[in-house]
Amino acid sequence: MDIVNHWVTGATFEGESTRTAPVYNPALGSVAREVRLASVTDVDAAVASAAAAFPDWAETSLAKRQAVIFSFRELLNARKQELAEILTAEHGKVISDALGEIARGLEVVEFATGMPHLMKGDYSENVSAGVDVYSTREPLGVVGVISPFNFPAMVPLWFFPIAIAAGNTVVLKPSEKDPSASVWMAELFTEAGLPDGVLNVVHGDKVAVDALLEHADVASISFVGSTPIAKYIYENGSRNGKRVQALGGAKNHMLVLPDADLDLAADAAVNAGFGSAGERCMSISVLIAVEPVADDLIDKIAERMSGLKVGDGRRNCDMGPLITREHRDKVSGYIDVAATDGATVVVDGRGIQVDGESDGFWLGPTLIDRVPTTSTVYTDEIFGPVLSVLRVASYEEGVTIINASRYGNGTAIFTNDGGAARRFQREVQVGMIGINVPIPVPVAYYSFGGWKDSLFGDTKAYGPDGVHFFTRQKAVTRRWLDPSHGGINLGFPENR
């Protein structure tokens, strides 16, 4: 069986560890290959490679770095179909969704090609007699990136292009559930001219994660994943003196007002609730309908759900399987919980007919009405194709529910009332807001991240925050003495 190796110093690397983990094809329900799980020594080797490469890469001109990033962008764009097929084979998402993921990652690569402009400092002349002050931005050193299974290409691309363009070297630890995309991108970057050791990939589990968190030569950690792990990463990375950005989980709400276009809202709810089988932190998992529109809206959503084709992502389906059997079973268990808690299961995704092998990790789109806010169906991040409906009497009641949530990643409002939309964006306590846009992921020149338990640390991903995270500032105060003004003066310097 094929084994996915690490990538260190510009080449495949087996490491010393003999531990491996299975990598499934979720549409088949069978093991496709194995992935190596790094030991502490293997992580040390990757960090040592990155540390050795850092001095030369940090001194490489901005123009040369920019050229390498641009070459990587061109290669990635030309070969995106190849990468999409890797994503579908290991994650299960349909090809069109995989191509969309790559397109959003490419936006960040394109943003990183502008690093010479983004690295510019400030300059103030003659702040005191003959004294000028200016600032510079410099790379941190070796940076660690720990990415999740749900976006094996896009999330790493949120981080390593910006880090590398700024002059850092990187150790990337992707999810062991779908590891091949990260190695493929590292190989492609080498083909684009990236020096050996600048981008390294180590696979692994908690052993590898803790090794990165504790390594003295790792300056920062970037993480995307569940809230409990994000908190663990933030607390342990910070305790070890590292700069940390840890993006956690979500429970995203979509508030639909009575004046909204219900057909548009129904389309959006289906797209945002069931795309990528709901395995994304920006999915809409709770629809809050302001009465009297709930019945009509639910009918429209259910009608659209009946036309969705679930199956193998390579067969022109709308939605693929979940990532593992265990995760599928966990998600489907919430449907039983909903019924026990008094909710109404309008569309049950269990036992559906699929266009794929019977052993695949299937769960169809599921719609649940009248979900109590006390139910774990509402409070938990389910991370699957389950859309819960809450009915409220007013806009105010809907906003109160959203703001009471422990999460604050994304939210949306659907309305034709500009005043209500403006009020919503100001009152809601969430980091990313959509107005008639169900999944408000910011474009690459803004930054991605939520509030509350959806983000640990004070720096978001990519955009201006990404540049600031992967650089540190120096302020330089400079004076060139006029040769005609010499002599000793022991008095305290004066500003004049």
Cβ distance 193 to 46 under 8 Å? no
In the chain, the N- to C-terminal Cα span, in Å, equals 75
What is residue 344's three-state secondary structure?
strand
Q: What is the DSSP letter of 478?
A: E
Question: Which DSSP letter does residue 493 get?
Answer: P
Q: Across the chain, which distance is largest between two alpha carbons, in Å? A: 91
Token readout for 299 is 């009918």
List the one residue out of 328, 140, 281 whose CA is nearest residue 219. Answer: 140
To the query of whether residue 281 is one of the catalytic residues in this protein, the response is: yes
Radius of gyration of the chain (CA): 25
Q: Which of 50, 219, 247, 281 is catalytic?
A: 281
E-assigned strand segments in 11-104 = 11-13, 20-25, 30-36
Tokens encoding 133: 């002050």
DSSP label of 487: S
Total Cβ atoms within 10 A of residue 357: 15
CA neighbours within 13 Å on the CB side: how many for 292?
0
Exposure class string for 428-463: b at 16+ Cβ within 10 A, else e: bebbbbbeeebbbbbebeebbbbebbbbbbebbbbb
Q: For the beta carbon of residue 1, count every other beta carbon within 10 angstroms.
A: 9
Which one, of 367, 300, 310, 372, lies nearest residue 342 by Cα?
372
Strand partners, 476: 134
Residue with tokens 């079973």: 329
Q: What is the DSSP letter of 54?
A: H
**Structural contact between residues 321 and 278, judged by C-beta atoms closer than 8 angstroms:** no
- Residues near 45 by Cβ (< 8 Å), separated by ≥ 6? 8, 13, 15
Amino acid at the residue 121: G
Q: Is 461 helix (H, G, I), strand (E, B) or coil?
A: strand
Residue 17 and residue 34 in contact, taking contact as beta carbons nearer than 8 Å: no
CA distance 287 to 401: 11
Catalytic machinery residues: 281
